[in-house]
Structure 1
Amino acid sequence: MEIKVVATKDEREDAYYVRMKVFVEEQKVDVEEEIDQYEEEATHIVVYDEGKPVGAGRLRVVDGYGKMERICVMPSHRKAGVGKLIMSKMESLAVDKGLSKLKLHGQTHAEGFYEKLGYVTVSGEFMDAGIPHVEMVKKL
């Protein structure tokens, strides 16, 4: 597996491809909600397995936090460490940006995954794109 910080148009398209497959096709998120006004300011990550995109995520700086967003893994690669790889890379990028606090809005079914990585739930459940989420934070 190879993880890249998106640097080209093709790599950005690969990240969007994974997001479309997971969020739009699988989870039925509206495409207009998935691709938003923050795409240009975010740092995007894409994971490849034998040249094929299998995971993605993005990092933004919001209110002094590194905000982890759009974290997704293709069904074929879940439970293979891809999500952990994405999170580790984005945490490293946050440190490089001088950030010491991270936050994310995690889908409730993934809350345990994030907890294992040191994230703590700081909100009640809320709906985003029709899917239950919680806000979680981590100090680096």
Structure 2
Amino acid sequence: MQVKQVETETEQKQAYHVRNTVFVEEQKVPAELEIDELEKEAIHFVGYEDEIPVAASRLRFVDPYGKLERICVLKEYRGRSFGSQIIKAMEAAIREHGFQKSKLNAQTHAEDFYQSLGYQTVSGEFMDAGIPHVTMVKEL
């Protein structure tokens, strides 16, 4: 998979399409919660497999953290390390911006996945968009 930071309107639409497919259609997150007022301040990423957009995420800088958000891979492309590839690209961007820590709110079913990438759980379970989550952090 090739991961790139979104630079064009077409790439942004592709990232939103992947996110909509995973979060709104598959996980039933309300559309008005998925695309929010923070989109303009974020760096967006899209992952391509054979020029098809199959993964997406966004990155914001909050306090001392690079905050990984909206990380998703289309269902038919899961299990191929695409999630870890997009996270590594996001972590590289965090370091390029001079930050040394990353943070994310993980859906609890994905907590083990993030732990395998070096993230540690630092919160109890909480609900976001009707889905249980935990906050996780990592020193880069």
Q: Which TM-score band applies after superposition, normalised by the shorter structure? A: over 0.9
1:94 equivalent to 2:94? Answer yes
Specify the alignment match of 2:112 in structure 1: 112
Determine what percentage of the aligned residue pairs are the same residue: 57
How many residues are treated as equivalent by the alignment? 140
Q: How many Å separate the matches in 2 of 1:66 and 1:112?
A: 20
C-alpha deviation, 1:49, in angstroms: 0.9
Look up the equivalent residue of 1:5 and give its one-letter code.
Q
Q: Counterpart in 2 of 1:138?
A: 138
1:6-17 to 2 correspondences below 5 Å: 6-17=6-17
Q: For 1:94 and 1:7, how far apart are their aligned partners in 2? A: 17
TM-score w.r.t. length of structure 1: 0.99
Partner of 1:62: 62
What is the alpha-carbon root mean square deviation over aligned residues? Answer: 0.5
Cα offset, 1:39, TM superposition: 0.5
How many Å separate the matches in 2 of 1:63 and 1:4? 25
User: Which SS does the other structure have where 2:105 is aligned?
Assistant: strand
What residue identity is the alignment partner of 2:97? K
Instruction: Report the Cα distance in structure 1 between the residues aligned to 2:3 and 2:112, rounded to whole angstroms.
Output: 23
**In 1, Cα distance between equivalents of 2:24 and 2:111:** 21
TM-score using structure 2 length: 0.99
Unaligned runs of at least 5 residues, structure 1: none
Which letter does structure 2 place at the counterpart of 1:26? E
1:53-109, Cα deviation, whole Å (9 max, x unpaired): 100011100012100000000001101010000100000000000000110000000
CA separation in 1, counterparts of 2:104 and 2:30? 20
Query: Does 2:25 align with 1:25?
Result: yes
Q: Segments of 4+ in structure 1 off by > 4 A?
A: none
3-state SS of 1:99 partner: coil
Measure how far apart 1:51 and its partner are. Answer: 1.3
* Residue 43 (structure 2) aligns with: 43
